[in-house]
Structure 1
Amino acid sequence: MAQKEKLQCLKDFHKDTLKPSPGKSPGTRPEDEAEGKAPQREKWASKLDFVLSVAGGFVGLGNVWRFPYLCYKNGGGAFLIPYFIFLFGGGLPVFFLEVALGQFTSEGGITCWGKLCPIFTGIGYASVVIVSLLNIYYIVILAWGLYYLLQCFQQELPWARCRHGWNTNKSLWLSANATNLTSPVTEFWERNVLSISSGIDEVGGLKWELALCLLAVWIICFFCIWKGVKSTGKVVYFTATFPFLMLIVLLVRGVTLPGAAEGIKFYLYPDLTRLKDPEVWIDAGTQIFFSYAICLGAMTSLGSYNKYKYNCYRDCMLLGCLNSGTSFVSGFAIFSVLGFMAQEQGVAIADVAESGPGLAFIAYPKAVTMMPLPTVWAILFFIMLLLLGLDSQFVEVEGQITSLVDLYPSLLRKGYRREIFIAVICVISYLLGLTMVTKGGMYVFQLFDYYAASGVCLLWVAFFECVAVAWVYGADNFYDAIEDMIGYRPNGWMKWSWMLITPVLCVGCFVFSLVKYKPLTYNKFYEYPDWSIGLGWALALASMICIPMMVVIKIIQSDGSLIERIKAVAAPVKGGASSRPKEYSLKNSELLHPLDPNGIHAFSKHSHTIVETTIMDRSEDEDDAQVHIPMEMLLFQSIKE
């Protein structure tokens, strides 16, 4: 039998052996089920699955509606100086750290720290608290976007004129600069979509249209992830790529509008004097941590599904370029349209520039009504918005689920238990999110957004991640692990960032954020009551307290003197943190010899146990060339020859 035909035969045998039985989770093997073991961990079907999942996870709404606004607000092109300092000194190093940690340990956001550095298991719990709160409110934006998208399928966009029941006698089209008058776009947003109340004290009733939209996006999110990485890895082929196509279309349309040049100039014109303001540096740091979706456990979870020998360093650097590049290009698409709108209304660009929901649901919808074929451009914009948010949402939920399932793998990976667990998490999150689709829901939404997943929380977690890896586990030790995985040592700037640069940047930004803290307001006028501010800080501390609390718990649970206890819980678990498969220690030449089950080369396993090894197919790509072959099959083929 030819070598290539024999290899294909072995592949087919291996594929059939690991094929799950009906009703079983992917990766379930008969002997695992018989012995009560957790099913094997899934892996990405291809390199592109991982790349697109990460791209979809961190290229989201913040790239489109937050970065361009921060850039113009903080000195235009001058803002890029602190942005790139935080990018290379904090964002990329922590992003790569989390992905590499997941790949090294083959564990989710909590259990990876339990393996690597048990005393800092609280980092994982803090990340899960943050991402759980984030998943509750982030998806509300998608509910608003879906509502707007459905409203576009009318003869005329409903926010284009003042002839509706929600409009007041103060509504006036194209006269936003007139005193005491509001545009129909603003009234559609506040009076029709939100039906906003007077304050957070007055929550009011549910907006049933929004509640149904929220239910719809949660159902979509569930079916995107319910089969694990095998479903997530395929869905992102559409959700992670189509928004880029839409962004390019909107960019081309924007730069061809009259007034676009002034908008772009306003976006990029550098004002170096703004660099003296600490808030500029705070905005740069928090934007980096937001846009790279770090300190949420999601990147660690995605990395945990990589093959051990996958070159994650290369792809992390490329993905970083994609993320920041998307943010930068989005500014051209947004500010070209804002420049056009300012020219049409005869006002300054600063008067129409918005950030966050104000940009997505007021400024841009208003701009498209001034274009030819406004319905078409509105539909394209909200489809892009939905897809950008959707893949970020289900990737973060996948990270949350993976972190929790890995805590109890024997319980939650069997049969359909994982799917049921995902459904329970989605239902609970949906019910909690209903508070944000009431008449006072916008106030609740902003409270979560300002405190629950704030920059302060992310900076806190990032600092301890670097301390745990660089100073407790050891930066050189982690570099050795990375070299073992990817085949070479990355540039030294990563190690120095973990050891020094990133912690210093995190501490500086954290301190300045507290010093410059301003209580939350809505629309710059409504001031939140004291009890709600206290609730907001409770949401923030719910994650931050996990790290010191788990340090104390781990020390108390260990034995010996205080120093002995600290040393015991600071060391990796017995057996090491690595998930390195044992077959990588075997030489390829050894696999071609007949294996005598009773001889000196025997494996001390029972006859019914499948022992996996590796055979290399040089005709395939090196990253995908490792094929796991049951040892009995190799023995059978060798004897047959």
Structure 2
Amino acid sequence: MDPEVEERGHWGSKVEFLLAVAGNVVGLGNVWRFPYLCYKNGGGVFLVPYLVFVVTCGVPLFLLETVIGQYTQEGSVTCWRKLCPLAEGIGYGGLLILLYSCMTYIIILAWALFYLVFSFSSELPWASCNNYWNTDECVDFSTANETIRWTNRTNLTSAATEFWERRVLAISGGIEELGGIRWEVLLCLITMWVICYFCIWKGVKSTGKVVYFTATFPYVMLIILLIRGLSLPGAFEGVVFYLLPDPSRLTDSQVWMEAGAQIFFSYSVGVGNLAVLGSYNTYNNNCYRDCLWLCLLNSATSIIAGFAVFSVLGFMAHEQGVSVEEVAESGPGLAFIAYPQAVAMMPLPQLWSICFFVMLILLGLDTHFVVMEVVMTSIIDMFPRVMRRAGRRERFLLLFCLICFISQLIMITEGGMYVFQLFDYYACNGVCILFLCMFEALALGWVFGAERLYSIIKDMTGVRLNSYFKICWLYLTPLISMGSFICSLIEYQPLTFNRWYVYPSWSYVLGWVLALSSILLVPGWAFYKLCAGTGTLGQRLQCLCQPVLDNSSTQTQRTELQTVGAEVLKPFMTK
């Protein structure tokens, strides 16, 4: 190897890998999405479809991706060149989804930082209607009279809602009215980008150290908020609403679809994150045991977060004299309206507001900078001789951050929330990830071979897997992924904002272009490679389905293949 080219490196310790993966998979969705889905879809009964998707898709795919990363020691694109070159489009599709995520996810952190700054005020600005942005329809829940007035009229808005829509977003009437940039949110966004840059600028050397704090401290905050929430009046009613079983919901296909979507999203499968994080492990790391514990941690965190969230929502409903159903929210509505409104009604509201938004920022921060690390690693592994030279990673990372920052300025304008939702709804979630997971399972289970995967795991970890995983990789996972993908298309509902704003037709077209941009990379790449090869169609297909790293290779041979990388792949890809 050229002496100027730096080594790829490994995690400093096993703990760094575990914390990095935990930080990646345990994020905002565990706090603001799972509890609401559980309440909305039958309470405790929702755990039935949730666990079905965990054992048939979540855990098998989680293990599958970690294994291929640890085995190939490559990024999310180049690992496919060694396993199944025909399916390399899966890596490109996942990488594109991560690029879209880098443009949207950090916006949420900027909003959370905005709230955190205002949490240090002598009076929380979303607790009263005495501010310049409030309207005559504003309701102050700090007095009983206003609570009564709220229950008698439906055209009123809470102080928390007006702070979110009129102060933070200054939201316009639609996506056609972008307006000006919110300069305070812009400053928060710059701050978050600077933090993310210095978290990963040295690769796993810096990322592995930062996660010791960012992946553990949110649990401290979550436990504090859980204890506080359960001690509030009305908390029990909130917990009952959260878990009250409704067996009739099991016959609703929408419940099963939302359970599946939650698993694919929260387990971070299909986009290459786990493959990249696993690629920094040593070859003989017991990734099988790691994956089982990390999957358990992810699901347990979601359930515990539900108690923390709904105990507080129960308190808010108790104080307002309404049902929990009327105050329950999901996504940004929970994080920036419902929960802030609830803490404003508690004693020492500033303290609990600070705890909540610190937790939110750290949960989102480690997820975001791990995604950035995955993107960086995948691109650098595609051009190792160019990118692994001294100082080039830092400069390329700076360029990458600037490009993402400039491209998302439109999302912090007065109409930016509409653009943000368009990207989040179409480009980063849903059918895109389901499609990639389906073909990932098919490519590795059938083309690369489930038996070969078993041999690899036995060689790396010394563990012989239960045959159940083979059944999942060959049948259950691809079939359930395909079924979920088809149902998502059939049950598709056009995006709306706040249930009243309907996007113009051109924005739906743009949304589907964003969705298809990652989906079409899979068949598009396969078609390109088949056309670019030589020989008969059968010969080209056989060549592109043949792995470069065979299970009979020794560990020394694998190391040599990684050292000469491009030289090995070039003659193979041009056969």
Query: Could you tell me the TM-score, scaled by structure 1's length?
Result: 0.85
Q: Please state how far the C-alpha of 1:395 moved relative to its aligned partner.
A: 0.5
1:104, 1:578 within 8 Å by CA — same for their partners in 2? Answer: no
**What residue in structure 2 maps to residue 582 of structure 1?**
556
Match of 1:314 among 273, 289, 292: 289
1:386-465 counterparts in 2 under 5 A? 386-465=361-440
Q: Please state how far the C-alpha of 1:453 moved relative to its aligned partner.
A: 1.2
Return the alpha-carbon distance in structure 2 between the equivalents of residues 93 and 414 of structure 1.
36
1:117, 1:569 within 8 Å by CA — same for their partners in 2? Answer: yes
**What residue in structure 2 maps to residue 135 of structure 1?**
102
Structure 2 vs 1, CA of residues 166 and 348 (structure 1 numbering), >3 Å: closer, same or farther?
A: same
Larger mean CA deviation between 522-531 and 481-490 belongs to 481-490
CA deviation digits over 1:275-311, x for unaligned, max 9?
1111101100000011011112111110000000000
**What residue in structure 2 maps to residue 368 of structure 1?**
343
Question: Does residue 138 of structure 2 align to residue 171 of structure 1?
Answer: yes
Question: Does residue 537 of structure 2 align to residue 562 of structure 1?
Answer: yes
Return the alpha-carbon distance in structure 2 between the equivalents of residues 184 and 488 of structure 1.
57
**What residue in structure 1 maps to residue 200 of structure 2?**
225
Return the alpha-carbon distance in structure 2 between the equivalents of residues 280 and 72 of structure 1.
11
Return the alpha-carbon distance in structure 2 between the equivalents of residues 512 and 408 of structure 1.
39
Q: Please state how far the C-alpha of 1:40 moved relative to its aligned partner.
A: 2.1
Structure 2 vs 1, CA of residues 580 and 377 (structure 1 numbering), >3 Å: closer, same or farther?
A: farther
CA deviation digits over 1:561-607, x for unaligned, max 9?
1111101111012x54899631999xxxxxxxxxxxxxxxxxxxxxx
**What residue in structure 1 maps to residue 171 of structure 2?**
196
Match of 1:532 among 507, 510, 534: 507
Larger mean CA deviation between 486-495 and 370-379 belongs to 486-495
Return the alpha-carbon distance in structure 1 between the equivalents of residues 552 and 324 of structure 2.
54
Return the alpha-carbon distance in structure 2 between the equivalents of residues 289 and 62 of structure 1.
11
AA aligned to 1:107 is: E
Question: Does residue 59 of structure 2 align to residue 92 of structure 1?
Answer: yes
**What residue in structure 2 maps to residue 384 of structure 1?**
359
1:106, 1:579 within 8 Å by CA — same for their partners in 2? Answer: no
**What residue in structure 2 maps to residue 68 of structure 1?**
35
Structure 2 vs 1, CA of residues 477 and 583 (structure 1 numbering), >3 Å: closer, same or farther?
A: closer
Match of 1:209 among 184, 201, 208: 184
Q: Please state how far the C-alpha of 1:41 moved relative to its aligned partner.
A: 1.6
Return the alpha-carbon distance in structure 2 between the equivalents of residues 76 and 579 of structure 1.
50
AA aligned to 1:171 is: C
**What residue in structure 1 maps to residue 528 of structure 2?**
553
**What residue in structure 2 maps to residue 111 of structure 1?**
78
**What residue in structure 1 maps to residue 477 of structure 2?**
502
Return the alpha-carbon distance in structure 1 between the equivalents of residues 162 and 115 of structure 2.
14
2:452, 2:551 within 8 Å by CA — same for their partners in 1? Answer: no
Structure 2 vs 1, CA of residues 463 and 538 (structure 1 numbering), >3 Å: closer, same or farther?
A: same
AA aligned to 1:317 is: L
**What residue in structure 1 maps to residue 455 of structure 2?**
480
Return the alpha-carbon distance in structure 1 between the equivalents of residues 304 and 467 of structure 2.
30
Identity rate, percent? 55
AA aligned to 2:556 is: K
Question: Does residue 260 of structure 2 align to residue 285 of structure 1?
Answer: yes
Return the alpha-carbon distance in structure 1 between the equivalents of residues 335 and 88 of structure 2.
38
Return the alpha-carbon distance in structure 2 between the equivalents of residues 345 and 473 of structure 1.
59
Structure 2 vs 1, CA of residues 181 and 580 (structure 1 numbering), >3 Å: closer, same or farther?
A: farther
AA aligned to 1:369 is: A
AA aligned to 1:314 is: R
Question: Does residue 157 of structure 2 align to residue 182 of structure 1?
Answer: yes
2:455, 2:551 within 8 Å by CA — same for their partners in 1? Answer: no
CA deviation digits over 1:256-288, x for unaligned, max 9?
101010100000011111111111011000000
**What residue in structure 1 maps to residue 272 of structure 2?**
297
Return the alpha-carbon distance in structure 1 between the equivalents of residues 499 and 91 of structure 2.
35
CA deviation digits over 1:30-55, x for unaligned, max 9?
xx444x6x422200110000000000
**What residue in structure 2 maps to residue 514 of structure 1?**
489
Q: Please state how far the C-alpha of 1:398 moved relative to its aligned partner.
A: 0.6
1:308, 1:579 within 8 Å by CA — same for their partners in 2? Answer: no
1:103, 1:303 within 8 Å by CA — same for their partners in 2? Answer: yes
Return the alpha-carbon distance in structure 2 between the equivalents of residues 561 and 582 of structure 1.
34
2:6, 2:390 within 8 Å by CA — same for their partners in 1? Answer: no
AA aligned to 2:248 is: T
Return the alpha-carbon distance in structure 2 between the equivalents of residues 370 and 322 of structure 1.
32
Return the alpha-carbon distance in structure 1 between the equivalents of residues 35 and 329 of structure 2.
10
1:104, 1:579 within 8 Å by CA — same for their partners in 2? Answer: no
- Structure 2 unaligned blocks of 5 or more: 142-146, 564-575
Match of 1:81 among 36, 48, 57: 48
Structure 2 vs 1, CA of residues 583 and 559 (structure 1 numbering), >3 Å: closer, same or farther?
A: closer
Structure 2 vs 1, CA of residues 312 and 579 (structure 1 numbering), >3 Å: closer, same or farther?
A: farther
Return the alpha-carbon distance in structure 2 between the equivalents of residues 293 and 583 of structure 1.
31
Greater RCO, 1 or 2 (C-alpha within 8 Å, sep 6+): 2
Return the alpha-carbon distance in structure 1 between the equivalents of residues 294 and 552 of structure 2.
25
AA aligned to 2:178 is: V
- Give the SS at the match of 1:406: helix
AA aligned to 1:304 is: S
- Give the SS at the match of 1:550: helix
Match of 1:150 among 99, 108, 117: 117
2:74, 2:276 within 8 Å by CA — same for their partners in 1? Answer: yes
Return the alpha-carbon distance in structure 1 between the equivalents of residues 415 and 85 of structure 2.
42
Return the alpha-carbon distance in structure 2 between the equivalents of residues 401 and 494 of structure 1.
31
1:101, 1:300 within 8 Å by CA — same for their partners in 2? Answer: yes
- Structure 1 unaligned blocks of 5 or more: 1-31, 586-608, 610-641
CA deviation digits over 1:521-562, x for unaligned, max 9?
000000011000010011100100000001011111211111
- Give the SS at the match of 1:203: coil
1:435, 1:441 within 8 Å by CA — same for their partners in 2? Answer: yes
2:235, 2:315 within 8 Å by CA — same for their partners in 1? Answer: yes
- Give the SS at the match of 1:187: helix
Q: Please state how far the C-alpha of 1:179 moved relative to its aligned partner.
A: 2.3
Match of 2:516 among 527, 541, 566: 541
AA aligned to 1:67 is: F
Return the alpha-carbon distance in structure 1 between the equivalents of residues 21 and 406 of structure 2.
28
Structure 2 vs 1, CA of residues 373 and 579 (structure 1 numbering), >3 Å: closer, same or farther?
A: farther
Structure 2 vs 1, CA of residues 481 and 165 (structure 1 numbering), >3 Å: closer, same or farther?
A: same
More helix per residue: 2
Return the alpha-carbon distance in structure 2 between the equivalents of residues 547 and 314 of structure 1.
31
Q: Please state how far the C-alpha of 1:490 moved relative to its aligned partner.
A: 1.6
Structure 2 vs 1, CA of residues 394 and 181 (structure 1 numbering), >3 Å: closer, same or farther?
A: same
AA aligned to 2:191 is: A
AA aligned to 2:33 is: R
Question: Does residue 468 of structure 2 align to residue 493 of structure 1?
Answer: yes
- Give the SS at the match of 1:497: helix
Return the alpha-carbon distance in structure 1 between the equivalents of residues 495 and 241 of structure 2.
28
CA deviation digits over 1:67-96, x for unaligned, max 9?
000000000011001000000100111111
Return the alpha-carbon distance in structure 2 between the equivalents of residues 233 and 365 of structure 1.
32
The structure with the larger Rg is: 1
AA aligned to 1:344 is: E
2:20, 2:211 within 8 Å by CA — same for their partners in 1? Answer: yes
